[in-house]
Structure 1
Amino acid sequence: MNIGSFCGSYRPNDVSFLLKRLSLRPFIDVANKERLIQSGTRHYSEMLSPEAVPSPRYLQVFNDAFAANRQQMARDCVSLAALINERRSGSITLVSLVRAGTPVGVILKRLLQNIFGRKVAHYSVSIIRDRGIDTVAIKHILQHGHPPESIVFIDGWTGKGVISRELEQAISSFNQQHLVTIDSGLYVLSDLAGTAACAASSDDYLIPSSILNATVSGLVSRSILNESIGEGDFHGCVYYEEFESQDFSREFADSLIADGICLVNRVGLPKVVPVDSAQAAAISSEYIHATMLQHGITDVNMVKPGIGEATRVLLRRVPRLLILRNPNTPDVAHLKVLAAEKNVPLIVDASLPYQSVALIRSALDG
């Protein structure tokens, strides 16, 4: 059974991870994990590839990316906080999706408190493609007195919209089963797929937290759902205590919060331009279809559009190809480093609707 929530490497009032910490680590090397996933032998959520602290070269690229993009991320965090403030009355319960949503949720919680004077709780829960959201965690939130109408789901970005659709389906089912009315809409900084309920932008820019793993996400792994998880358990995770000396999670969030408050004090709340979701969705659908035809791909999950998704592929999958719109822009510098380190072919396509796209290698490829 669950032993309760924990805060990872964040402060206790920043977030409660509703995850079961696993003592036995379900690690498997990337190549074997890819083979098992693609053969249908194991689901991706059942396994983890071991993480490592970033190389000095990669860490320098992260620091450069953070310096270049922190103001845009801070502005988008303030904009998203303002949108949440407009759309929710009463208390607010942020439910961020592990892991990419967690740093954003930590930042939003304090911006909503400090700028808008709102009462905010923040939980981080697991959602898994084809497996749904952790309903034990959602029940826990409701049982702790948070009204269903106060819940706001948070993630970093959309790629193809898989998780936003998974969330909609899972919460719709949960609502019907438990006779509640939780809003299944996803709130993100950047909505590339046009599937989010609310977004600060639809730009494919380098969200700095997307290019590190555990060391910017509270030292928590991607969530796990395997035989270690009992019926009444939260989904699982690994806590990387060995990375504590390299952890950037609190510093990253604190910096963005300070930047956001400074921005509001200097120029007021930024004007939010509504995202054209229909246009973003049309661009996404057209590009995915054309790319699958061009490269002979039959599984849509092998195409990962946008900087955030491409980064994930190069960090923890077996990449087939990296495609860049402009290899000289600083936003893709970290992708070039990873591609060089892993001997991943790189091509340039100036017509790309995103800054980058990664293709996953099929187990059938030579």
Structure 2
Amino acid sequence: MSDVVWSGEWVAGRLDLRLSGEGLRDLMGLALRRNPKRAHLLVSRVLGKHIPESPATVYGVGVRLGRRVRELLGDGLAAQAVVLGYAETATGLGHSVADGIGGVSCLHSTRRRVAGVATAGGFEEEHSHATSHLLLPEDPALLEGDGPLVLVDDEFSTGRTVRNTIAALHRRHPRGRYVVVALTDMRSSDDEAALEKFAAELGARVDVVALASGGVSLPADVLERGQRLVAEAEAAVEPPQERSAAVPAARPPEPERVELRWPQGLPDGARHGFTPAHRARLEDALPAMAGRLAEALTRAGTVPGPGTEPGGTAAPRVLVLGCEELMYAPLRLAAALEERLVKAAEVRFSTTTRSPVLALDDPAYAVRTALAFPAHEEAAGTPDGDAAQGTRYAYNVAPGADGRRRFDAVVVVTDSASDTPALHAPGGLLSRLAEHTDRVLLAVLPSYVPLRQPLRGPDFSSYAPQDVGWLLQDMSHTQLEAPTEEREEAIQSGGAHYAESLPVEYQPSPEYERLFHSALEASAARVARAVGTVTEAVLAERGAATNARPGDGGKGGDRAARRRPVLVSLARAGTPVGVLMRRWARHVHGLELPHYAVSIVRGRGIDANALRWIAAHHDPADVVFVDGWTGKGAITRELADALEPFEGFDPGLAVLADPGGCVRTYGTREDFLIPSACLNSTVSGLISRTVLRADLVGPHDYHGGKYYRELADADVSRHFLDTVEARFGEVRTGVADDVAALLASDRAPTWAGWRAVERISEEYGIGDVNLVKPGVGETTRVLLRRVPWKVLARRGAGSDLDHVRLLAEQRGVPVEEVGELPYSCVGLIHPRYTRGATGADGRAAQ
């Protein structure tokens, strides 16, 4: 053995502990736990948790283990694997193993509860000071496959934790192959037999891959000895001087914040899953982020600038310090920084921990120094800035008595959920570090908050679950409705946006209901033909059309080679159209098109979180936005503007009817009655229009919507869909002709509707185009939701306007027939509306 003292001698000698196994002493030392369940701690030198180490070494060990797993499984099985790392110690190791396997996703367990994220499982770690592990994947399907599950921990000691994990997951999603990966396999022969028996009972194969293996021999009274040693060691340490209560602790200077420019939407770790696509984005961004760290260290005077050698006899020492479960991102940043500063500085990596360990400044002991500080992680369900309870530790960061291990600078890498006042307070982590180094820098990664899965019927909406997934949050139990007159006054006065409240749902009279059903019967074939035309146009434009005409059931097309458009309807008027387009694609071509409904709000834009979810689950290039009709084109323009910050999405809009001449993809440009415009929620899956209000919709929330379950008896949503779908067969030939003519024509938007609206606004002295609502659908909305002034009807318009005339009569709104009008009708809202200026019938005074 070399003259270097092994950092496990102190514990081994006093506990009569014997370590057997080749190479184990090179990988680990020993320390004493402050834990009544276990006396000793195997302290890894290559994990990057308790002992600062070269980040290239820490990362390389995990990658090497991952490559051994790929060799064990073979390329085919390895490609189907999912990696699960254990919190907190093996979160970075699990990531690194996944990188070594290559092309697989990983997840790590967590002890951080995340509000609004469903738990996909959990298990207990009996010997730990913090026993409960949660599994919070963003995509539940991550754990539902039948490929190998690779479980990664730093130490495989008895196997109980692994057996608990496998048992819990196997009950939900059985699979035939598991692989356990650890730095060290320290199981006894009895433990090995227990795992073999467990696997046989499970009917699965469990393999073990470890960097080194061996055993630990312990005396029977090891717990009592360990607790006695801890008590004696702590008693021998001089207590810190008490600070007078009259002299408050000084607040440390704020560290320099380093803006890494972490890629937008990239998870900060695998708490909710980390995919190969995420890894590719991280790899692309690492060099630039490491460059920004290096520049900050140069500004701080820690490392020399580019092209200069470090002064003095030794290169400056820089520690990159992660926080608890946040290991992988800081590790990769540290490795990239180490590569960049290869001649300018000595870079080391470690992380803070929850684990209470005794510190002794002795070369024969693995944990020489300890910095204790209050927890600074934001606790789930508490106000911003409230930290979780408890004490956290940073080991071997303070230099100790000899000062030879001192760091010239420490770069703390944490996430935004941990960037709380407790982090910056006197006695907090930053303060404690500042006592032992010249410079403290802080880099904060945005905490990744997974978005919820789409809501589906019957829990949300009366549509079938396969018809549409609603990317909304359910506000069904929130009072959002306000009287129409109050809403109108608030909207026009600038006191509130129209999306901040909901109108009281219109309850149709028996006469109006009869009008809806007769209109549906009369126009079903016309709607079906427009649905077929716009769907076929989308399939052709997106390269998904078959070689067959729409009448032959889709024969003759190479379905496997086709891309599938992803329909994203603008809730809620676009949603019935999206459902019908999806049904046409299935009915005619056998295509199952994904369909989601998202919120877009005039003046506020599209729901960015909904787009983020879609982009994470589909290629944005496949997305087709769908709406019911165009009026003057305000939403068409809103959509184009809202999509500018997002990569890959086509801002084109596909609509059933485009009387305003605003889009290229449409079923018709005639302004005709689409029966779904006649009613509100009762023809739209019982869903309200969408809500966007700052006190209800946070930065990680979808826009809101309500499910009016209480209106189920009046619901005609499925009846509308089924009635139109029943006419698909008779219109197929006409659709084929329409599509051929459409694709051969000049479809450039004319914006004729916008010009007409500007003319009407000026002619009627309105002065605000937003108060002019052109087309049958928009006029109906005015009569149902707003305080209308009058309706302009094109002279000679027929039964398409029967329901408009009835609504106008019920509300006492005059209908004025005009000659030159590109729409069947136009609804006008008076620009000077106040409740005090209305008559008994609710009309605005003229």
TM-score interval for Structure 1 and Structure 2 normalised by the shorter chain:
over 0.9
> Partners of 1:294 and 1:363 in 2: how far apart?
16
Q: Is the 8 A contact 1:53 1:243 kept in 2?
A: no
Q: Residue 362 of structure 1 aligns to a residue in which SS?
A: coil
Q: Compute the displacement of 1:268 (Å).
A: 6.8
* Residue matched to 1:71: 525
Q: 2:607 aligns with which of 134, 137, 141?
A: 134
Q: Compute the displacement of 1:69 (Å).
A: 1.1
Q: 1:320 aligns with which of 789, 793, 797?
A: 789
* Residue matched to 2:497: 43
- Given the alignment of the two structures, is residue 164 of structure 1 paired with residue 632 of structure 2, yes or no? no
* Residue matched to 2:649: 182
Q: Which amino acid aligns with 2:578?
A: G
* Residue matched to 1:17: 470
Q: Which amino acid aligns with 1:10?
A: Y
Q: Which has the higher relative contact order, 1 or 2, with Cα contacts under 8 A spaced 6 or more apart?
A: 1
Give the direction of change, closer, same or farther, for the CA distance of 1:106–1:285 in structure 2 (3 Å limit).
Answer: closer
Q: Residue 126 of structure 1 aligns to a residue in which SS?
A: strand
Q: Residue 304 of structure 1 aligns to a residue in which SS?
A: strand
Q: 1:222 aligns with which of 671, 689, 698?
A: 689
> Partners of 2:536 and 2:484 in 1: how far apart?
40
Give the direction of change, closer, same or farther, for the CA distance of 1:233–1:17 in structure 2 (3 Å limit).
Answer: same
* Residue matched to 2:778: 309
Q: 2:680 aligns with which of 192, 196, 213?
A: 213
Q: Residue 357 of structure 1 aligns to a residue in which SS?
A: strand
> Partners of 1:328 and 1:223 in 2: how far apart?
32
Equivalences for residues 64-103 of structure 1 within 5 A? 64-89=518-543, 90-103=563-576
Give the direction of change, closer, same or farther, for the CA distance of 1:326–1:38 in structure 2 (3 Å limit).
Answer: same
Q: Is the 8 A contact 1:304 1:310 kept in 2?
A: yes
Q: Is the 8 A contact 2:659 2:822 kept in 1?
A: no
Q: Is the 8 A contact 1:133 1:167 kept in 2?
A: yes
> Partners of 2:714 and 2:680 in 1: how far apart?
12
Q: Larger Rg: 1 or 2?
A: 2
Q: Is the 8 A contact 1:95 1:154 kept in 2?
A: yes
Q: Which amino acid aligns with 1:107?
A: L
Q: Which amino acid aligns with 1:30?
A: T
Q: Compute the displacement of 1:262 (Å).
A: 3.8
Q: 2:753 aligns with which of 278, 284, 298?
A: 284
- Given the alignment of the two structures, is residue 362 of structure 1 paired with residue 831 of structure 2, yes or no? yes
Q: Is the 8 A contact 1:109 1:122 kept in 2?
A: yes
1:287-327 per-residue CA deviation (whole Å, 9 max, x = no partner) reads 22221222111111011111011000000000001111136
- Given the alignment of the two structures, is residue 244 of structure 1 paired with residue 712 of structure 2, yes or no? yes
After TM superposition, the structure 1 stretch with the greater mean CA deviation from structure 2, 271-280 or 157-166, is: 271-280
Q: Is the 8 A contact 1:78 1:260 kept in 2?
A: yes
Equivalences for residues 113-132 of structure 1 within 5 A? 113-132=586-605
Equivalences for residues 247-286 of structure 1 within 5 A? 247-264=715-732, 269-272=736-739, 273-274=741-742, 280-281=750-751, 283-286=752-755
* Residue matched to 2:455: 6
Q: Which amino acid aligns with 1:154?
A: V
Q: Compute the displacement of 1:83 (Å).
A: 0.5
After TM superposition, the structure 1 stretch with the greater mean CA deviation from structure 2, 267-276 or 241-250, is: 267-276
CA RMSD of aligned residues (A): 1.8
Q: Which amino acid aligns with 2:634?
A: V
Q: Is the 8 A contact 1:99 1:222 kept in 2?
A: yes
Q: 2:664 aligns with which of 194, 197, 202?
A: 197
Q: Compute the displacement of 1:187 (Å).
A: 0.2
Aligned length in residues:
358
Q: Residue 692 of structure 2 aligns to a residue in which SS?
A: coil
1:8-48 per-residue CA deviation (whole Å, 9 max, x = no partner) reads 10001000011111121211100010010011111111011
Higher helix proportion, which one? Answer: 1
Q: Residue 169 of structure 1 aligns to a residue in which SS?
A: helix
Q: Residue 821 of structure 2 aligns to a residue in which SS?
A: coil
Gapped regions of structure 1 (runs ≥ 5)? 176-180
Q: Compute the displacement of 1:60 (Å).
A: 0.8
Give the direction of change, closer, same or farther, for the CA distance of 1:276–1:55 in structure 2 (3 Å limit).
Answer: farther
1:206-239 per-residue CA deviation (whole Å, 9 max, x = no partner) reads 0111111101101000000012111111100111
> Partners of 2:753 and 2:734 in 1: how far apart?
34
Give the direction of change, closer, same or farther, for the CA distance of 1:300–1:276 in structure 2 (3 Å limit).
Answer: farther
> Partners of 1:318 and 1:355 in 2: how far apart?
20
Q: Residue 291 of structure 1 aligns to a residue in which SS?
A: helix
* Residue matched to 1:110: 583
- State the identity %: 40
Gapped regions of structure 2 (runs ≥ 5)? 1-115, 117-450, 544-562, 834-843
Q: Compute the displacement of 1:74 (Å).
A: 0.3
Q: Which amino acid aligns with 1:341?
A: Q
1:101-157 per-residue CA deviation (whole Å, 9 max, x = no partner) reads 00000010111122123241000010000111111111111222x111110000010
Q: Is the 8 A contact 1:92 1:118 kept in 2?
A: no
After TM superposition, the structure 1 stretch with the greater mean CA deviation from structure 2, 211-220 or 342-351, is: 342-351
* Residue matched to 1:178: none
> Partners of 1:279 and 1:238 in 2: how far apart?
34
> Partners of 2:796 and 2:498 in 1: how far apart?
30
Q: Compute the displacement of 1:278 (Å).
A: 5.5
Q: Residue 103 of structure 1 aligns to a residue in which SS?
A: helix
Q: Residue 271 of structure 1 aligns to a residue in which SS?
A: helix
> Partners of 2:729 and 2:814 in 1: how far apart?
42
1:154-211 per-residue CA deviation (whole Å, 9 max, x = no partner) reads 0010001000111111112222xxxxx1111000011122221311211010011111
Give the direction of change, closer, same or farther, for the CA distance of 1:284–1:277 in structure 2 (3 Å limit).
Answer: farther
Q: Residue 42 of structure 1 aligns to a residue in which SS?
A: coil
After TM superposition, the structure 1 stretch with the greater mean CA deviation from structure 2, 4-13 or 312-321, is: 4-13
Q: Compute the displacement of 1:354 (Å).
A: 1.3
Give the direction of change, closer, same or farther, for the CA distance of 1:106–1:229 in structure 2 (3 Å limit).
Answer: same
> Partners of 1:320 and 1:267 in 2: how far apart?
40
Q: Is the 8 A contact 2:506 2:784 kept in 1?
A: no
Q: Residue 269 of structure 1 aligns to a residue in which SS?
A: helix
> Partners of 1:154 and 1:327 in 2: how far apart?
31
> Partners of 2:621 and 2:716 in 1: how far apart?
33
1:251-270 per-residue CA deviation (whole Å, 9 max, x = no partner) reads 21122122113422x66734
Give the direction of change, closer, same or farther, for the CA distance of 1:334–1:165 in structure 2 (3 Å limit).
Answer: same
After TM superposition, the structure 1 stretch with the greater mean CA deviation from structure 2, 69-78 or 114-123, is: 114-123
Q: Is the 8 A contact 1:195 1:277 kept in 2?
A: no
Q: Residue 263 of structure 1 aligns to a residue in which SS?
A: helix
1:329-355 per-residue CA deviation (whole Å, 9 max, x = no partner) reads 110000111111101112111322211
Q: Is the 8 A contact 1:190 1:203 kept in 2?
A: yes
Q: Residue 324 of structure 1 aligns to a residue in which SS?
A: strand
